[in-house]
């Protein structure tokens, strides 16, 4: 393991410990779901350029939402930061400004969540798809 990888792993572990202290739970599963959503919707435009959606919605059951947002609006920013680091490690480019929105949903069973991504409305979905077309630079 290189020194940089060891440092990254140490920082990741400390981040998770901080999150657990702040919110009383480990966000690994939720962050992994965001990463998976990002990776699953990546569009390769050309060699070395990969576009990913820039808007992510996290729906939480009422009790989970209350627990995570009890300390204020920081949870969305914390998740945004984690996703931004993931994208930077993979060399992804956002389709626009990155945002992770966390909201309560009556449709999500307690203890569960739902993650979805999209291109923000002010960014043309057609432009996103055209950028992915072969031969475009």
Tens digit of pLDDT per residue, the chain (137 long)? Answer: 577 677 676 766 665 555 555 455 546 788 899 999 999 999 998 777 899 999 999 998 888 888 777 766 678 888 899 999 999 999 999 988 999 998 999 898 887 889 999 988 665 556 556 655 655 54
Would you say 55 and 117 are in contact if contact means Cβ atoms under 8 Å apart? yes
Greatest alpha-carbon pair distance for the chain in Å reads 49
| CA 3/CA 36 separation, integer angstroms | 26
Would you say 78 and 122 are in contact if contact means Cβ atoms under 8 Å apart? no
113, 15, 19: which is closest to 57 by C-alpha?
Answer: 113
| CA 95/CA 131 separation, integer angstroms | 10
Residue 80: CA atoms inside 13 Å, Cβ hemisphere, count? 15
Q: How far apart are the first and last CA of the chain?
A: 36
pTM of the model: 0.68
């Amino acid at each position: 393991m290189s020194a940089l990888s060891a440092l990254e792993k140490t920082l990741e572990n400390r981040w998770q410990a901080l999150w657990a202290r702040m919110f009383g739970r480990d966000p690994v599963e939720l962050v992994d779901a965001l990463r998976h959503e990002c990776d699953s919707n990546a569009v390769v435009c050309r060699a070395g350029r990969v576009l990913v959606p820039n808007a992510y919605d996290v729906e939480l059951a009422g009790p989970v939402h209350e627990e995570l947002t009890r300390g204020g609006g920081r949870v969305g920013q914390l998740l945004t930061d984690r996703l931004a680091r993931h994208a930077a490690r993979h060399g992804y480019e956002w389709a626009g400004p990155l945002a992770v929105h966390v909201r309560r949903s009556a449709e999500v069973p307690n203890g569960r969540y739902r993650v979805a991504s999209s291109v923000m409305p002010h960014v043309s979905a057609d432009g996103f798809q055209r950028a992915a077309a072969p031969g475009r630079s």
